[in-house]
Each structure stands twice: as C-alpha cells, then as structure tokens.
Structure 1
C-alpha cells in the first residue's frame, strides 16, 4: 500500500466550482495533487503541507493578498481562497502570474468551516490506500462526487446525494440550473428545516422509504421562498436498511429511460456508501498502525510517515491519559 494521488485543483473546481468556489485568477488545471488544507494565520509563519490550498480567512486588502501570495509561493502552495467578491487589482493579477498560486473565491453565505469540511472530504479519498484505487461501475470507489456527476449526466438534472438526516454527502455540477433553495441546501450541507418539515408533513419521506421507485415532490404551492423546481427522489438501500437518498431538481417528469437510470443509480450509490462505511473502519485501523510504527522509530518509521503525509513536516505529538488510583485503572492506562 502507498499514497493514492490526491485530488487536483481542477478536480476540486469541478466538484465544488459554481456553488462554493470560483477560480478568480490563475491556472485551474495546474498539475499535481493538493496535499492538504490550511487556514491563514496572520500571527504565525505557516507550516504548510505540500501543494496546500490555503483559506484566507479575514484577508481582504490588496496589499495583504499580494504579500500572502508571495509567502505561499515560497511554500509551493496550490491556491489561496478569499471571500467573494474579490477585488482584483493589477498588483494582485501580477502576483498571481509571478507566483503561480491560483486565487479562488468562496461564495457569500458559505462558511469557511463548510468549505474546509468539504475540501478535506475530497482530499481524504486519496490519503491512504492502494496505488490504484478500487472502482465500482468505472468510478473510484467511495467517490460520491463523481457518482453524483455521473447521475446528473444520465438524467440531465442536477442532483444531491443525502443521508437519512437530509445532510448533503455530495452534489453534482450544474447546480446553477436548479433554484435558490438547492443552493441554500448545498451551502448549508443540510436540507433547511422549513423544507424538511413540509416534506415530512406531506408524507414524502414516508413514501420515499417504502418504495424503490422515484417519488415526486412538488412543493411550489407551499409558499417556500426560493423553491421553483419540482424534486424527484429515490431511496438508497442496502437490503432493507435505508442508507440515504438521491434528489434531483427537474423541470419536467423524467422519461422512462431516465427513471430507470435513477433507480439503477440508487443501487450504485448504495455500493459506494457501503464502501465508504467499510473503508472508514479499515482506514482508521491502518492509520493507527502507521502512527504506532512512526512513533516506535526504526527502519519502517520513514515509510509510515510518508504514507501518513507527514514526511519532511514538523509534527507535534500530544498524548492524554486518565489515571486513577486503582490497579485496574493503571493497567488500562498502560494499555492505552
């Protein structure tokens, strides 16, 4: 096992662009994977992972931005994200061209925490594993964003993949073709409570979870601000367990072929969700083993650090333990 290739800047823009992120200046097709996500700290010199994507929280002034771009170039960073709207000046344009650090903008209304979580979710797909990732139906195993884009292409409509609690796990491109309520859902990574409540009151969730066929929800007459398109959803199941659902924003009913494609997609999403669930446990155990090897030192420590993405980086080890007075507590502490 070794490191899988990390998601590139182009991949991040494909998955999150148009809804959360936009490329302002620079090369969106820059080769190489993003090594991690970092948050700008004005009081501390950054210790960045290789090819980092840096969240410029609080950065606004053109002079500040230019200085930060030049600092990030010394650390071989991939890009800098600022809050939209970004005021582009000739000095900023020149700094981007000089440094090669891409400049991106975060949509208004989206939180930095949301962006960091989604970026880390994308990048985590390549953290630890085989050199060639497994595939399901030709798509990288567990890559729900790629699955969402494939479904959107099949049914010609923007889609989200959600869990049982209506939290957004992934979304396709083309969300600009949907309505304001869909954008709100993606920015919040959760179906807003007012929509979820109406869906529950109308029995949409109940119908959705008791059939394997798509269910239409036309809430346009409910007075919900920002909702202009009908939704069609299908449950994602593993046997009789409900794993989540797929939701599409449509302007007209799906054709018979697209209806069947959506039903088939639900089975594919189930496989990916199960792979994510299984992989999370395996990856946690693998990380624990690698960390133990790194801490023990010896010939294998260097390789373990590389597979953890920590080679040639400063690290801090923090150990915590709860100690009691009894022998059982002492034995437990020793095991930990």
Structure 2
C-alpha cells in the first residue's frame, strides 16, 4: 500500500554506463536503491538524502575525491560522480572500500547539467513505474527502462547506436555504443536534444517530410559525418516520434523489417508513457492534496511522496491579473512547471501540484527564510513576464504540520493577490496585519455588514458635494495629526486643511480627540481605502 519509488544503481549503470559514466572505485551493487541527486557545494551543507548520488562538481585530485566520498557517506549517499580521469589508487580506493560509496567517473566533455538532468530523468521515470503501487502499470517494468532496453535491442539488431526521439527532437532513450557515432550524435545524447542546427539541416533536406509521409525507413545523408536511418513511430494516424540509427550504409531487407518492428513496439511504450505521465500527475496531485488537507491518510500520502524524513514549508503560487484573460490559464501552467523545476533543483523530493487554480509546492528545507529566498529567486527569474505571487507557510517539522503551513501560505497569498501589497512573495508573519484586514474585509463584504459611521457619512457627503473630506481625514490620520505634513500630502495650504478638518468633524460627527474614534476611522479607511 505504501510502496516507495525504487530506482536502482544497476539501471543507471546500464543506461548511462557506456556513454557517460564508469565505475572507477568501490563495488557497485546493481540492486542498491537510488533516491535522488545532490550537487556538492563546499560552502553549503545539503540536506541529507539517504540513497542519493552526489555530483562532485569541481572536485579534482585524490585527496579532494576521498574527502567527498567521506562527506557523501555522512549524507547517506550510495555513489559519487567526479570528472574523469580519477586517481583511483590510494586514498580514493581506501575511502570507497571503507564507506561502501561507489565512485563513478564522468566522461570528459559531458556537462554537469546534462548528467544531472539524465539522472533525474531516469529516477523520475522509475518513480512513474512504482508510485501508484503494483497496479499502477500492471506490474510492468518502468517505461523509460523499456525504451532504453528497446534502444539497446535495436542497436544490437542493426549494429549501430540508436536514439528514440519525440517529434521535437528530444531524446527519450538511447542505446549503448554511442561512442561509435559522430560528434552530432554525441551532442544529441549529452543534451538529450537534437542540436538546433541539425534540425534545421534535416528540415532543409526534407528528411522530416519524408519520414512522416513514408511507412518505410528513410536513409539520410549529408547532414552529419555518418549517415542515418530513421523511421517514424506511429499510433494509428498520429506521429508519436521516431527512431534514429547511425549506420554505415542503407539497410538490407531483414534489418529494415527489424527497425519497423521496433517502431511498433516503441509506439506502445510511448502511448503508455503519455498515459502514465497523466496518471502520475493526477496521482501526485491527489497525494499532495491529501497531505495538505491533513487527516488520518496524510502521513501515508507524505511517505509515498518522500516527505516524511525532513522539515518542509508549503509554497502557494497564483498568477494574478484578470481571471478572464485568454492566456492566463496557459501562463499558469507554464509558471507551475517552471516552479516545479526550480524547486526540484533545490531539493529533489519537492512535491508540486496545481489545486483549484493555485500551485502548491512542499519544499523540504531548514527554515521558512530559506523557503522565502527560494520563492524570491524564482520570481526574480520569471521577472515581469508572468504576474505571479507566492505565499510561504511556516516550517512544518512533521507531515501533520503541513496543513497549518498550507493555511499560512494561503493567507499570505490572499494578501499578495489582492493588489494591496507591493510584495510578490511573503510569509504570513510578514503580512499578518494585512491578512487580518483582508479576512475582515471579506467577511464584511460577504455579510454586507458595514454599519453606518463617520467614514460612511463623509463618503456620502463627498459624493453629493464633490468635496475631499475623506481624503483630508485619511491624510491627517496617516501623519499622526501633523497638519503641515498632512496638508502637503493633499496639496493644500495648512489653513485650508485646518478648515477642512473642522468641517469634516462636523459632517461626520466624529470627535478627533477621542482615540477610539480615531482608531475606528483608521480601521474603516484601511478596510476600504480612498480611491486615488
């Protein structure tokens, strides 16, 4: 019932080992569970994530690599990745044997961003196969694993490195032996995307037009150093993607038939993958909703999302602006996906889902200040392209506390979305007074329960006589009775202001020497500020 997502080290080594990484020290147990990816930073101690793979960016030399292995062991990691060549003798081998942490070497030329994306992609697709429990995929193997296995099987049949790509040239899976390809193929695998210049060259040569029109494979030359054979992956009349093979020349009849059969199998996997992504998204949204609502099932849902082991804060994001704006929904989807990616880079166990027009994220963190900084950094990157605001809840030490953190985030979000604050992100304690006013304003509006009083009488008088006595009272209260400052704020002479002040006291029936009367008037003006 509470089966956890399980990716294993063996799958990573099988899928990436021949192209990106090699075991250089320690014993790699293929059945070792891998839970996430951490990037080492010598100036920042990351949150412990047992079962993680640590990327040793900028770590060189035997002493530094050995120290990283020791540090990774303290975090509960199962492997570290460092740039090859790695000095494996001496301290590195001793540290790997003593801690049980496997040392992996990253091939020269591969970027750390690429390997991080590849690892997280593999882990995410393994979660897809198990997050719903045994029945989620009918007991089948995880989908990306199927595609990688298919790519390897196809490569063996056709004697050439294979990639499976979607219609946009994004690499969904690739086989081993990619080093037998050319520079364009290696760049495609490392970036998980066909380079833009190659896509344009293929379009100019009509390769995609032929690929999508023909049932049989297409032989492509003149675009890269080595020729390619490609076939479309179809489901009915829909093009789902394509399979590309680096070859030495045109395929014979047997190998052409093998490639066409592989395309049929790939179509089933891609259809399952698309359906599985939708199912996973719905499942994670349901689990996150259960966690945020609390109740007896919340701990189990938090465990399935991997949120039980560390404190966390709830972030609530909403796109502001006119609700009827045609691009508001699309902008909401884009910014929700961007937030999920941004927070996943901070902590791999972040859970994100859109519920009722609000995107909620549970971010494992050490404090609400760190969560607020993460929100501010995200909004800073988004800039003014999307008018979004983020409320941040208090730190939840236990999963049961996430409901309260969500309530805080919602209250802060309500203030930020009202347009009465210039801030784009805030914790509840940052806008607590404004939150109380907003809730009181909403209750009064819902119950139509604004009693007659001095401010109401002033507004009515101003409307009938085209005066500005309400503004006069507001300026006087804001300046604590400083007549020259208040007169300057409304651009009149102090004597004129004194006359207006005397007149408004008569019209409103308010005793300006009474602190209770002043407080009531100020509260009323805060609930319904004068219009500029």
TM-score range, shorter chain: 0.7 to 0.9
Higher helix share: 2
1:236 maps onto 2:239 in alignment: no
Given the superposition, is the C-alpha separation of residues 135 and 208 from structure 1 closer, same or farther in structure 2, using an over 3 Å criterion?
Answer: farther
TM-score by length of 2: 0.56
Kept in 2: contact 1:49–1:313 (CA 8 A)? no
Q: Mean Cα displacement is larger for which, 235-244 or 309-318?
A: 309-318
**Structure 2 residue aligned with 1:300, among 297, 302, 306?**
297
How far apart in 2 are the matches of 1:68 and 1:97?
Answer: 14
Give the 3-state SS of the residue equivalent to 1:130 in structure 2: coil
1:212 is matched with 215
2:132 is matched with 129
1:1-336 superposed matches below 5 A: 2-3=2-3, 6-127=6-127, 128-131=131-134, 134=137, 140-143=142-145, 144-219=147-222, 224=224, 227=225, 229-319=226-316, 320=390, 321=413, 323-324=417-418
Given the superposition, is the C-alpha separation of residues 84 and 316 from structure 1 closer, same or farther in structure 2, using an over 3 Å criterion?
Answer: farther
Kept in 2: contact 1:3–1:130 (CA 8 A)? yes
Cα distance, 1:315 vs. partner? 2.6
Q: Mean Cα displacement is larger for which, 148-157 or 99-108?
A: 148-157
Which gives a bigger RCO, structure 1 or 2 (Cα 8 Å, sep 6+)? Answer: 1
Kept in 2: contact 1:9–1:33 (CA 8 A)? yes
Cα distance, 1:302 vs. partner? 1.9
**Which 4+ stretches in 1 moved above 6 angstroms?**
none
Given the superposition, is the C-alpha separation of residues 132 and 106 from structure 1 closer, same or farther in structure 2, using an over 3 Å criterion?
Answer: farther
Cα distance, 1:87 vs. partner? 3.1
Kept in 2: contact 1:157–1:248 (CA 8 A)? yes
Given the superposition, is the C-alpha separation of residues 132 and 145 from structure 1 closer, same or farther in structure 2, using an over 3 Å criterion?
Answer: farther
Q: Over alpha carbons, which structure has the higher Rg?
A: 2
Kept in 2: contact 1:47–1:314 (CA 8 A)? no
Give the 3-state SS of the residue equivalent to 1:82 in structure 2: strand
Given the superposition, is the C-alpha separation of residues 312 and 65 from structure 1 closer, same or farther in structure 2, using an over 3 Å criterion?
Answer: same
Cα distance, 1:117 vs. partner? 1.4
In structure 1, list runs of 5 or more residues that go unmatched: 332-336
TM-score by length of 1: 0.87
How far apart in 1 are the matches of 2:277 and 2:288?
Answer: 16
How far apart in 2 are the matches of 1:78 and 1:257?
Answer: 44
RMSD: 2.5
In structure 2, list runs of 5 or more residues that go unmatched: 317-389, 391-412, 421-437, 444-532
How far apart in 1 are the matches of 2:281 and 2:207?
Answer: 36
